[in-house]
């Protein structure tokens, strides 16, 4: 009986190892096109809910025509609000697609330069730290913003176009940190081999 249990456990381990080795050899390269240039990034596979939600919105062209509605030099640039498509700048920052995303806050994903993270409501209204269904920000501080680690879900990393983030953060803005000239975006996601992404942009998968 003990031997049978041992063999069963061994088979489970071998099966699990086989599944782990079957990781996809392809990934999505996300491109955010703006008047200031293109930003290219990858989405982390260990934040699957955020990855799936973001790609769904990209495929629906949800982000196309939205703007980076909040920019703070030496901190971050924020976008993804559907309200930013209309002619009323005063409602920017309050929009969403009608859903939130459960938190996927992982200790090894830090707020480094170029990190992609999800915006959210504050802890007093949102104790589970669920993310906005669409709004995101990109870290512009070259030293990172470590005080945000463990507070918001980081689910991607810019691998090309960091200088574009800097240019957007430096744009003239009003007292609400909204750029005085709209910085609209178009977002696409193209599937390609991880080897090609590494070759083109130097990003190395773990």
- 149-187: pLDDT as tens digits: 999 999 999 999 999 999 999 999 999 999 999 999 999
CA distance 132 to 103: 10
Domain ranges, ordered by start, for the chain: 26-201
Both structure tokens of 33: 């096109």
Mean predicted confidence (pLDDT) in 143-150: 98
Structure token digits, residue 158: 């810019």
DSSP 80: -
Mean per-residue pLDDT, 137-155: 98
Q: Name the CATH superfamily, with its identifier, for domain 26-201.
A: Cyclophilin-like (2.40.100.10)
Cα separation, 143 vs 177, in Å, equals 21
Partnered with residue 176 across adjacent β-strands are none
The CA radius of gyration of the chain, in Å to the nearest whole number, is 19
Cα–Cα distance for residue pair 189/17, rounded to 1 Å: 30
Give the separation between CA 100 and CA 120, rounded to whole angstroms: 9
Q: Record the pTM.
A: 0.88
Q: What is the pLDDT of residues 19-37, one digit of tens each?
A: 444 578 999 999 999 999 9
């Amino acid at each position: 009986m003990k031997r049978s249990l041992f063999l069963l456990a061994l088979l489970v381990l071998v099966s699990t190892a086989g599944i782990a080795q079957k990781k996809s050899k392809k990934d999505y390269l996300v491109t955010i096109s703006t008047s200031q240039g293109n930003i290219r990034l990858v989405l982390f596979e260990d934040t699957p809910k955020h990855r799936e939600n973001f790609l769904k919105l990209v495929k629906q062209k949800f982000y196309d025509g939205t703007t980076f509605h909040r920019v703070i030099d030496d901190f971050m640039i924020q976008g993804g609000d559907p309200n930013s498509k209309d002619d009323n700048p005063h409602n920017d920052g309050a929009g969403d697609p009608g859903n939130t995303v459960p938190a996927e806050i992982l200790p090894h994903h830090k707020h480094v330069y170029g990190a992609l993270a999800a915006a959210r409501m504050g802890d007093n209204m949102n104790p589970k730290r669920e993310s906005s269904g669409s709004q995101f920000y990109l870290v512009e501080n070259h030293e990172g913003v470590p005080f945000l680690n463990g507070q918001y879900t980081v689910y991607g990393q810019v691998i090309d176009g960091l200088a574009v983030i800097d240019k957007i953060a430096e744009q003239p803005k009003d007292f609400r940190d909204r750029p005085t000239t709209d910085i609209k975006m178009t977002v696409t996601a193209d599937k390609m081999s991880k080897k090609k992404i590494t070759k083109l942009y130097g990003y190395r998968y773990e």
